[in-house]
């Protein structure tokens, strides 16, 4: 009895199980091609999730700039702090997501 990783959820299960107890995927009759297809689908979903996070970060970044230059908040006001925070957080989150995407693309 060996411990293997489920091809769908990657959690540890026994090789005697016919179905994963975590994600209920039938693993008894999976061949190598099916396992590869599942792995590629999981990787694609991960890439799409990171891209969605990148777009949200970009929206936060651009909305901070838009608010900063259209509303012209007074120096030292809370509105200025909020717009600058949105710009900083959006930019930092965008860069982090781009690095995450690069790392996901580099893995096999």
Q: What is the pLDDT along the chain (108 residues), one digit of tens a residue?
A: 688 888 888 889 888 888 888 888 888 888 889 888 988 998 999 999 999 999 999 999 999 999 999 999 999 999 999 999 999 999 999 999 999 999 998 986
What integer pLDDT is reported at residue 59 of this predicted model? 98
**By the 8 A CB rule, do 16 and 8 touch?**
no
Q: Which residues pair with residue 95 across a beta bridge?
A: none
What integer pLDDT is reported at residue 16 of this predicted model? 84
Handedness of CA 82, 84, 90, 96 (dihedral sign): negative
What integer pLDDT is reported at residue 14 of this predicted model? 86
pTM of the model: 0.78
**Three-state SS for 12?**
strand
**Three-state SS for 5?**
strand
């Amino acid at each position: 009895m060996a411990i293997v990783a489920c091809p769908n959820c990657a959690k540890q299960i026994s090789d005697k199980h016919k179905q994963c107890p975590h994600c209920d995927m039938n693993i008894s009759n999976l061949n190598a091609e099916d396992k590869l297809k599942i792995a590629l689908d999981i990787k694609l979903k991960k890439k799409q999730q990171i891209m969605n996070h990148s777009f949200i970060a970009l929206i936060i970044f651009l909305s901070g700039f838009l608010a900063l230059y259209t509303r012209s908040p007074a120096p030292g006001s809370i509105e200025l702090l909020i717009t600058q925070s949105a710009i900083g957080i959006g930019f930092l989150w965008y860069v982090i997501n781009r690095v995450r995407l690069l790392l996901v693309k580099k893995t096999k």
